[in-house]
Structure 1
Amino acid sequence: MNDNLKGACFMMGSMATFTCNDAVIKYVAQGMPTFQMVFLRGVGATLLLVVLARFTGVLRAPVPRDDWKWVIGRALAEVASFFPFILALTHMPLANVTAILQALPLAITAAGALFLGERVGWRRWTAITVGFVGVLMIVRPGGADFDRWSLVALAAVVMISLRELLTRRLSRDVPSLKVAIFTAVGVTILGLAITVPSGWAPVSAGQGGLIAAASVFILGGYLFSIMAMRVGEVAAVTPFRYTALIWGLLLGWAVFGDWPKPLTLIGAALVVSTGIYTLLREGRRAPVPRPNAPR
């Protein structure tokens, strides 16, 4: 297997584990306060990340002074994106939320052009526009099937795009695993802050087992995504993030009995196809080295 094929496998593994984590969260939230479950999953995921970081020696690696503001800013952006995401996830079909999130590569490309001065030609701007039309077909604002939680999912897309812009500011000296720890800690604190005033519900053995599984899934998602971006070329590996939509459709149907309407599927196909086109266009450009590329 060459590096790009390995990276593609890691990316597909990342999307599978992230989507399985989302399915577990949605399922457990039906019988437990959502943010209590987020807190418990966060504790498990943080402990696993810390153990792994200690085992690999990353835990002792210092964060450069100039990077602290970006690390903290990224963690805050993660919390700000997770809050609307978890609300949308618990109120919408899994496949619909996953489909809206597929607009991320388009949103990040547009944000990079608007705020970081990255070059985006008319072909990619056209693809971004068509992808936005696809998002409107999924959300259907003003229609009879309009779901206001779709707008909450779009808010999550905006905040995740901000998170990615902050990620690009990190220097090479910041280990990705350590950034993942700060991310997990931030989300765990969010869960605790909302759980404390609302009260604690008893946790059954079955719920505890599912939360433990979610902790393992989220850890796998973090690790596979990091390995994917370190092994393969970005333009070759990133299109495989769209396999999350397949997992979202299958798990949504198998676990919750949901299947999107035809217009939602057509909109998702538009978003995915324009996103892949954008990434292929990116791959044809000569790479521009960035001194602050994160590890």
Structure 2
Amino acid sequence: MANAQANRRGILLMLVAMGCYVLNDVFVKLAAQSLPPGQVLAVRGAFATLFVLALARGTRAGWRTALRPIVGVRCGLEITTALSSVVALSLAPLATVSTLMMTAPLMIAATAMALRWEPWHGGRLLATAAGFAGVLLVIQPSARSEVAAAGLACALLCAASLAARDLVTRRIPATVPSSIIAVATTLAVCLAGLLLDLVERWAPPTRHELGMLAAAAGCAALGNYALIVACRGVDLSVVTPFRYSLIVWALLLGYAIWGDMPRPEAAAGVVLIVAAGAFTVWAARRP
């Protein structure tokens, strides 16, 4: 059991991490209004690569472990996650995309139980079902408005890719350094963005667009760091549910920047998803 001060620090850092992730999405969404998805991935990936290489500078060994097939699978899932996220943000409101992406923990719980990696738990099954019912509430009012169905589909694809990526990450041997995984996946996303140049029409980015994508990469890197520190030396059952503050950040920034307001049905869906996700995390962490 961690002390109360450690848990309070963990909660604060978790709130900061989720805020950084949403800021990353905000900058990506702004840049994606004038740049194609591949160019967004390539430019942001170039900045992100500089950040992760700086973090991995002290790693002297283990670079060959990046050639393991399971690391390649994670790189592929990172590419689908990043690409579907950029497309979803360009087509749908920030809060809607963030809410649908936060169904990833529910998908992880359902998949882990189905594969017998974790024991069956009736409460978690009910919570997962309630969370997916919340997804329907979020989608239905959006589907009847001007939101493109492709944006909603990409947000759900992103959530599925996130879930699969995290499940694969659990299977990567501990002998593979985390910094190596970060460098490999970041480079993979950047290269994937460059390859999309073959089917997209790129334009020279302005200083404003470069600044937004650099800020997006910086926010993502800071969010990753804050998340790691937030989960160390704390009670995870207390701190982890605050990951869902990401939805609150997305609602606030979506309203402040674009004037997005969720309909009552969508708001009820958000509550269901947050409650289901928080319960799923709590049930998984308790003895």
Is there any run of 5+ residues in structure 1 with no aligned partner, and where? 286-295
Task: State which of 167, 170, 176 in structure 1 corresponds to 2:169.
Answer: 167
State the SS of the aligned residue for 1:198.
coil
In structure 2, the residue matched to 1:213 is 215
In structure 1, the residue matched to 2:188 is 186
Contact between 2:66 and 2:180, CA under 8 Å: does it hold in 1? no
- The one-letter amino acid paired with 1:137 is L
In structure 1, the residue matched to 2:37 is 34
Q: How much identity, in percent, do the aligned residues show?
A: 33
Task: State which of 18, 21, 26 in structure 1 corresponds to 2:24.
Answer: 21
Shift in Å, 1:161: 1.0
Write the distance in 1 (CA, Å) between the matches of 2:212 and 2:154.
26
Contact between 1:19 and 1:247, CA under 8 Å: does it hold in 2? yes
More off after superposition, 138-147 vs 150-159: 138-147
Change beyond 3 A, Cα 1:155–1:66: closer
Matched, 1:45 2:48: yes
Contact between 1:67 and 1:171, CA under 8 Å: does it hold in 2? no
State the SS of the aligned residue for 1:25.
helix
Write the distance in 1 (CA, Å) between the matches of 2:238 and 2:257.
32
Write the distance in 2 (CA, Å) between the matches of 1:154 and 1:197.
24
- The one-letter amino acid paired with 2:97 is V
Write the distance in 2 (CA, Å) between the matches of 1:255 and 1:35.
24
In structure 2, the residue matched to 1:3 is 6
Q: TM-score, normalised by structure 2?
A: 0.90
Write the distance in 2 (CA, Å) between the matches of 1:139 and 1:267.
9
Alignment of 1:107-186 (within 5 A): 107-140=107-140, 144-145=144-145, 147-148=148-149, 149-186=151-188
State the SS of the aligned residue for 2:154.
helix
Write the distance in 1 (CA, Å) between the matches of 2:55 and 2:83.
26
- The one-letter amino acid paired with 1:86 is V
Shift in Å, 1:52: 2.1
Aligned-CA RMSD value: 2.2
Q: TM-score, normalised by structure 1?
A: 0.88
- The one-letter amino acid paired with 1:264 is A
Write the distance in 2 (CA, Å) between the matches of 1:67 and 1:170.
12
Write the distance in 1 (CA, Å) between the matches of 2:234 and 2:32.
36
Write the distance in 1 (CA, Å) between the matches of 2:66 and 2:211.
41
In structure 1, the residue matched to 2:246 is 244
In structure 1, the residue matched to 2:286 is 284
Runs of 4+ in 1 over 4 A off after TM superposition: 63-67
In structure 2, the residue matched to 1:100 is 100
Alignment of 1:202-281 (within 5 A): 202-281=204-283
Change beyond 3 A, Cα 1:174–1:229: farther
**Residues 90-142 of structure 1 deviation map (CA, whole Å, 9 limit, x = unaligned):** 10000000111121211111111112431131111111111110111111299
